[in-house]
Each structure stands twice: as C-alpha cells, then as structure tokens.
C-alpha cells in the first residue's frame, strides 16, 4: 500500500494494545485532533438523531452470543437494519472528519477511507495476550474483574471488535495487507511506536 499527500492517519488495534494511548501521543506530536470511539459516537448521535446508547450497543453486541440472542429475541431484519443504518451514519461522520487532517481511532476508519479512495496512512497495533490482559486490567471499564473473569471479558471484547470489523468490511482486522504499518506494542515501547508512526507518515509526504 502506498498513498501520497497523507492528511489522515487511521489506527486499528487489538483490545488492550495501548491504541488510545499511542494514538494520543501521535496526535500530540503532530498537533492533530484525535477522534476515537467516544468522540465519533457523540458526533454520530448529534448528526443522525440516534441515541448514544444505541450507537454503543451497535459495536458492543457483536460477540457471537450477543448477536445470536438479539437476533433470536427480536426480528432479525429489524435488528440488522437498525444497526446497519447506524454504521452508515458513522461512515458519513468519518468521511466528514477526513476532509481535514486528523487521526481516526478504530471504527473501521481505514477501510472506509480506502473504499472512497481517500488518502490515508493506516496503522495496526497488536500485542501478545499477556500484555493485553495486563493492560485490560488497568482500564476503568474492567475494574473489579480479575483472573478468569477478566479473561472472559477480554475474550468477549476481542470477539466483538473482530466481528464488528468483519461484519462491515468483509476482512480480518489483523490482516497486515490492509495497513501501511503494523506494530507490536508488547515489544516496542509506546513512545517509540508513536515516533515510528510519525516518521513513517512524514516519509510518505516527501
């Protein structure tokens, strides 16, 4: 993959791979706005009229069990239609944000830009399971979860994230061919990862 005149950086990541932390460091180094899950959800809610809670559920309920249960208890066509419409609204917001230089974290941002032929530099962050579990234990959303309970929770979040990506892109999130740069955040320090991304992006702009 090779794009010139890059103005947008997208960062996809495994759960617990320090995605938000590294994205913020890159944003600070380049003085660019960062749009992650919360920022994008708020903007989608404002522009589409969907409730923030419904938008969050659209991605959180992508684990196989939750997806099956919702489909079983509700009309499958209505369930799919409402969540697909939310994704379409999110897609429009991401395309709008990409009109000016920024960093987009998650939300299938890289795939959405690539589909539209919009230049971007696409990054994937991953780490070994031990690193990701340790990081997950530090996150406020997982407070009170330890041991096997934490592992089950992380498995659910990982499955949901992968299923969400596959549902709307037809690809595996971890396929390196979809990115310009993939970094192992379990081996490479966060500050170094951020600087590597900045250096790579700047080299693309020469």
| Fold held by 8-40+101-204 | Rossmann fold (3.40.50)
Cβ atoms of residues 121 and 181 within 8 Å: yes
Which residue, among 167, 138, 135, has the nearest Cα to 63 in the 3D structure?
A: 167
Mean pLDDT of the chain: 88
From 78-82, 90-94, 106-110, the region with the lowest mean pLDDT: 78-82
| pLDDT confidence bin for 205, thresholds 50/70/90 | confident
Looking at the chain, the whole-number percentage of residues with pLDDT higher than 90 is 70
When pLDDT is averaged across residues 44-57 and rounded to a whole number, the result is 89
The Cα–Cα gap between 117 and 158 comes to 28
Looking at the chain, the whole-number percentage of residues with pLDDT higher than 70 is 85
pLDDT digits (tens, 9 = 90+) for 103-152: 999 999 999 999 999 999 999 999 999 999 999 999 998 988 989 999 99
Phi-psi region of 108 (alpha: psi -120 to 50; beta: other; left: phi over 0): left
| pLDDT confidence bin for 82, thresholds 50/70/90 | confident
Q: How many CA atoms lie within 13 A of 71 on its CB side?
A: 12
The Cα–Cα gap between 174 and 127 comes to 11
Cβ atoms of residues 16 and 131 within 8 Å: yes
Question: Which pLDDT score, from 0 to 100, does residue 58 have?
Answer: 72
Cβ atoms of residues 179 and 1 within 8 Å: yes
| Residue 28 confidence (pLDDT) above 80 | yes
Cβ atoms of residues 15 and 157 within 8 Å: yes
The Cα–Cα gap between 195 and 153 comes to 31
| pLDDT confidence bin for 66, thresholds 50/70/90 | very low
Cβ atoms of residues 35 and 102 within 8 Å: yes
Greater pLDDT, 190 or 161: 190
Question: Which pLDDT score, from 0 to 100, does residue 7 have?
Answer: 85
β-partners of residue 122 are 10
Residue 64: count of CB within 10 angstroms of its CB: 11
DSSP-derived letter for residue 64 is H
In terms of C-beta density within 10 A (0-12 exposed, 13-18 middle, 19 or more buried), how is residue 204 classed? middle
From 8-12, 59-63, 190-194, the region with the lowest mean pLDDT: 59-63
Greater pLDDT, 60 or 93: 93
Question: Which pLDDT score, from 0 to 100, does residue 185 have?
Answer: 98
Domain segments of the chain: what residues? 8-40+101-204
DSSP-derived letter for residue 115 is H
Question: Which pLDDT score, from 0 to 100, does residue 72 have?
Answer: 46
| pLDDT confidence bin for 83, thresholds 50/70/90 | confident
């Amino acid at each position: 993959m090779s794009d010139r005149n890059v103005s947008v950086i997208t960062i996809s990541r495994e759960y617990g791979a320090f995605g938000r932390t590294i994205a913020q460091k890159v944003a600070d180094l380049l003085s660019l706005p960062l749009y992650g899950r919360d920022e994008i959800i708020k903007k989608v809610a404002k522009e589409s009229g969907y409730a923030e809670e419904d938008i969050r559920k659209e991605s959180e309920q992508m684990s196989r069990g939750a997806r099956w249960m919702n489909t079983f208890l509700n009309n499958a066509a209505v369930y799919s239609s409402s969540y697909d419409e939310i994704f379409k609204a999110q897609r429009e917001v991401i395309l709008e944000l990409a009109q000016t230089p920024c960093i987009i974290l998650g939300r299938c941002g890289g795939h959405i830009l690539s589909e539209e032929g919009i230049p971007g530099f696409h990054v994937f962050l991953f780490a070994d399971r031990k690193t990701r579990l340790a990081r997950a234990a530090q996150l406020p959303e997982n407070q009170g979860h330890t041991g096997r309970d934490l592992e089950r929770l992380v498995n659910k979040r990982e499955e949901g994230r992968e299923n969400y990506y596959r549902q709307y892109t037809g690809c595996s999130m971890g396929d390196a061919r979809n990115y310009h740069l993939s970094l192992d955040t379990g081996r490479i320090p966060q500050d170094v990862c951020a600087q590597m991304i900045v250096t790579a992006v700047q080299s693309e702009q020469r």
